[in-house]
């Protein structure tokens, strides 16, 4: 009952926030030219026009394909490299300066390099999304690997668990929260930088249409594409990433309850770790 009331209250707050935003938008549009700030009704009409256009579906699918491809490659590469750095301190010390460089370089610079190397193609946007998202995921997985309790690893080895099983049962629960935190951040950045890449390195897609509308001073279409992009991001975030995160982390409440009942003594901590490893091994 309490959870339902909390959900209803949260939905009411979000609706109230959206209502305030739309009201302020409408009031601002009344006092500005439409080519500067089109009103909600004009943007909605532009969105309907785009929806019934010949290239709408192809543009949306092109952007989604590029973003998901770049993000998927970044997830695989960032996870593997993060695990490697977490497993070897010498390797981490050696590559840490390079990681700092990757985190510092702007996505606009990667877009320029991509244009030089790949020209106007899908590879340009995929490369920019990859180079933006991969360092974020790598850093998050690396931090998660460093947070693994060495006692858990030693206990798992005492049970003669194989290294892949130790990785799945011991490292996994510690790394997953960090991974999802970094992945959600990387996914959001990936969507944003895809627009930058598409404006200069694509002949279709949402970013290309945004630039085209801006060049023709079709501000209502610029707003319409922006609203569509935000809607896609929120749908993927709320419909896929958040439910997956909640489903994967259902064990945390039970784990927190066990930790709260444990005493701070070394013997109790080891006993709790043994129970946890045994349960994960059986799982």
213 to each of 165, 221, 225, how far by Cα in Å?
53, 6, 9
In a domain, 47, yes or no: no
Task: Output b/e per residue, 164-199; b: 16+ Cβ within 10 A.
Answer: eebbebbbebbbbbbbbbbbbebbbbbbebbbbbbb
State residue 102's pLDDT score. 82
State residue 76's pLDDT score. 93
Per-residue pLDDT tens over the stretch 136-185:
999 888 888 877 777 777 777 777 777 777 776 776 777 887 888 888 88
In a domain, 124, yes or no: yes
CATH code for the domain in which residue 191 is found: 1.10.3720.10
Per-residue pLDDT tens over the stretch 63-90:
999 999 999 999 999 988 888 887 777 8
Domain span at residue 184 reads 55-147+164-249
Q: Would you state the structure tokens that stand for residue 223, as one six-digit string? A: 């707003």
State residue 2's pLDDT score. 60
In a domain, 199, yes or no: yes
State residue 275's pLDDT score. 44
State residue 3's pLDDT score. 58
State residue 90's pLDDT score. 83
Total number of domains in the chain: 1
User: What are the residues whose beta carbons fall under 8 Å from the beta carbon of 232, sequence distance 6 or more?
Assistant: 60, 64, 191
In a domain, 36, yes or no: no
In a domain, 274, yes or no: no
**Regions in the chain scoring below 50 on pLDDT:** 257, 259-283
Residue pair 156/277 in contact (Cβ under 8 Å)? The answer is yes
CB neighbour class for 7 (10 Å; exposed up to 12, middle 13-18, buried from 19): exposed
pTM for this model (two decimals): 0.75
């Amino acid at each position: 009952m309490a959870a339902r009331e909390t959900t209803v209250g949260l939905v009411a707050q979000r609706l109230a926030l959206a209502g305030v935003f739309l009201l302020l938008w409408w009031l601002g549009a009344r006092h500005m030219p439409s080519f500067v700030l089109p009103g909600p009704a004009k943007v909605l009409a532009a969105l309907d026009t785009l929806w019934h256009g010949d290239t709408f579906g192809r543009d949306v699918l092109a952007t989604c394909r590029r973003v998901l491809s770049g993000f998927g490659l970044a997830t695989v590469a960032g996870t593997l490299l993060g695990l490697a750095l977490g497993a070897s301190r010498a390797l981490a010390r050696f590559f840490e300066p390079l990681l700092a460089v990757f985190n510092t370089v702007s996505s606009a610079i990667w877009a320029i390099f991509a244009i030089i190397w790949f020209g106007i193609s899908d590879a340009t946007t995929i490369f920019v999304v990859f180079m933006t998202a991969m360092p974020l995921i790598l850093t998050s997985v690396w931090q998660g690997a460093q947070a693994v309790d060495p006692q858990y690893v030693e206990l798992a080895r005492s049970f003669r668990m194989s290294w892949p099983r130790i990785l799945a049962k011991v490292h996994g629960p510690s790394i997953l929260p960090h991974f999802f935190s970094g992945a959600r951040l990387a996914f959001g950045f990936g969507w944003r930088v895809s627009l930058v890449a598409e404006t200069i390195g694509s002949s279709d897609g949402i970013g290309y249409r945004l630039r085209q509308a801006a060049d023709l001073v079709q501000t209502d279409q610029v707003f319409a594409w922006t609203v569509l992009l935000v809607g896609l991001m929120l749908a993927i975030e709320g419909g896929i990433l958040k439910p997956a995160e909640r489903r994967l982390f259902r064990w945390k409440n039970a784990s927190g309850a066990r930790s709260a009942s444990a005493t701070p003594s070394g013997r109790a901590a080891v006993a709790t770790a043994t129970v946890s490893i045994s349960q994960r091994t059986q799982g």
